[in-house]
A and B are shown apart, each in its own frame.
Chain A
């Protein structure tokens, strides 16, 4: 099964590990709900910026959330296939879980999936 990477803060990564990606998550300062869950194929390509960069950017914006981290999760190919369309071919490395495009299936399977949180060093 392919491993997918999501760059964020350590606190958020640990919460996602415990509860699954939450489309209703709202940033501490308020605003709209998250709606979706963006990941990369572990092997790339990283045509939209590497997940470490997102992790460091998020950690910089929210310095009290334990630093930058990468959530790695092993996702079945049939769930990943639900995300593929004309905008997000797998060849471009971005696996985008949206409502109606794999997010519900990912959340349903979440508790059974291998996951780990990896630390990221600021460059």
Chain B
């Protein structure tokens, strides 16, 4: 299924709230990067180097888009505390299950009242020469029954 169709389906039919929607978004970006932003009351998406596509028929409130950005910030800080502000920044997330991460998502975002945008760039582990990368655990996309990730307050 085309990636934007996957995103459209995730936005239109969320099954696990914004937390699940973000999981679906990150999975859709696993192999290729994506950019999303909020312009003129609509969410726009494009593949890396591609043209912007407006998801005009997706009834997504700005507050939902901002919650998506907030969730991504929380995931970044879960991996490395205080790596980003809830209002914007740049960080990396390891993608992959268990102890064998297969890729890294570089995340750049802004989440203020004036600007809402998200850029997800897929990197391979070979592309990175970051000290301590081996010490990072991959993101735990398995969730407890209440939607909380391991390590979050609700999972304690």
Contacts and interface: CB of A to CB of B under 8 A. Distances in A.
Contacts of B155: 45
Given A46-B152, A96-B63, A87 B14 contact: yes
B147 A92 contact: yes
A49 B73 contact: yes
Nearest to B153: A44
B18 A92 contact: yes
Contacts of B85: 57, 60
Given A88-B17, A91-B17, A92-B18, A48 B70 contact: yes
A71 B121 CA distance: 37
Interface string A54-85: 10011011000000000000000000000000
B70 A49 contact: yes
Contacts of A60: 85
B58 to A, nearest CB: 12
A45 B86 contact: no
B17 A45 contact: no
Contacts of B154: 44-47, 93
Interface string B112-125: 11100000000000
B146 interface: yes
A27 B148 contact: no
A34 B113 CA distance: 7
Contacts, number: 89
A47 B148 contact: yes
Report the contact-size class of chain A (Cβ under 8 Å from the partner).
20 to 34
Interface string A25-42: 001000110111010000
Contact of A35 (B15, B18, B63): B63
B64, B86, B154 pick with most chain A CB within 10 angstroms:
B86
Given A57-B85, A92-B18, A45 B148 contact: yes
Contacts of A91: 17, 146-147
Contact of A94 (B67, B112, B114, B152): B67
Given A47-B71, A48-B71, A91-B147, A35 B62 contact: yes
A22 interface: no
Interface string B95-124: 000000000000000001110000000000
A61 B113 CA distance: 13
B19, B71, B87 pick with most chain A CB within 10 angstroms:
B19
**The 10 residue pairs across chains A and B that have the minimum distance between CB atoms:** A45-B154, A31-B114, A48-B70, A44-B153, A49-B74, A89-B17, A91-B146, A49-B86, A92-B17, A57-B85
